Amino acid sequence: MAQLEGNLNPFFQAMCRAQTLQLPHKRSSMVSLDSIRRDPRWRDPNLHEVISMLSHPMDPVKSNAAAYLQHLCYENDRIKQEVRHLNGVPILVGLLDHPKAEVHRKACGALRNISFGKDHNNKMAIKNCDGIQALVRLLRKTSSMEVKELVTGTLWNLSSHEPLKMMVINHGLQTLTDEIIIPHSGWKRDLADPSKLQSAEWTTVFKNTSGCLRNVSSDGAEARQRLRECEGLVAALLHALQSAVVNKDTDNKSVENCVCILRNLSYHVHKEIPGAERFQEPHGNHLMRSIGHPKKNEPDCFSGKRPKGWKNGFMDRKYSTLDLPKCTELMKGLELLYQPEVVRLYLSLLTCSHNHNTLEAAAGALQNLAAGHWWSSYIRATVRKEKGLPILVELLRSDVDKAVRAVAIALRNLAMDRRNKDLIGNYALRDLVGNLPCGQQHPAKNLEGDTVVSILNTIHEIITDNPENARLLIQGHAVQKLVAINKSSQSARETKAASHVLQTIWAYKDLRNTLNKAGWNKSHFKVSHDHSNLFTHGNACCQIVIRKKQEDLCGKKGKKERLRVYFWP
Domains in the chain with CATH codes = 43-160 (1.25.10.10), 169-188+196-276+332-386 (1.25.10.10), 399-528 (1.25.10.10)
Residue 300 confidence (pLDDT): 55
- Share of the chain residues as helix, strand and coil, in percent rounded to the nearest 5: 60, 0, 35
Amino acid at 29: S
CB-based contact 69:563 (threshold 8 Å): no
pLDDT at 567: 34
- Please report, to the nearest 10 degrees, the dihedral formed by the alpha carbons of residues 347, 350, 353, 358 taken in order: 110
What's the CA gap between 15 and 58, in Å, rounded? 10
Do 268 and 221 form a contact (C-beta atoms < 8 A)? yes
pLDDT given at position 552 = 44
Produce one character per residue of 58-68: b if its CB has 16 or more CB atoms within 10 Å, e if not. Answer: bebbbbbbbbb
Contact between residue 79 and residue 116 where contact means Cβ atoms under 8 Å apart = no
In the chain, the N- to C-terminal Cα span, in Å, equals: 21
Report the distance separating Cα 342 and Cα 78, nearest Å.
Answer: 47
Signed CA dihedral, 258, 452, 343, 380: sign only: negative
R_g (Cα) of the chain, nearest Å:
31
* Cα 320 to chain centroid, rounded: 34
Euclidean distance between CA atoms 96 and 475, whole angstroms: 68
The pLDDT value recorded for residue 340 is 84
Strand partners of residue 299: none
Distance CA 7, CA 498 (A): 80
CA distance 473 to 24: 91
Interatomic CA distance for residues 429 and 423, integer angstroms: 10
Which candidate, 44, 79, 82, places its Cα nearest to that of 64?
44
Interatomic CA distance for residues 220 and 232, integer angstroms: 21
DSSP code string of 13-82: HHHHHHHH---SSHHHHHHHHHHHHTSTTEEPPPHHHHHHHTT-SSHHHHHHHHHHHHHHHTT-HHHHHH
Q: Which string of b and e fits 190-202 if b means at least 16 CB within 10 Å?
A: eeeeeeebbbbeb
> For the CA atoms of 324, 329, 330, 334, what is the dihedral angle to 10 degrees?
-70
- Listed as ranges, residues in the chain with pLDDT below 70 are 1-41, 189-197, 274-331, 439-444, 527-569
Beta strands in 63-206 (DSSP E): none
* Residues 6+ away with beta carbon under 8 Å from 219: 162, 165, 166, 169
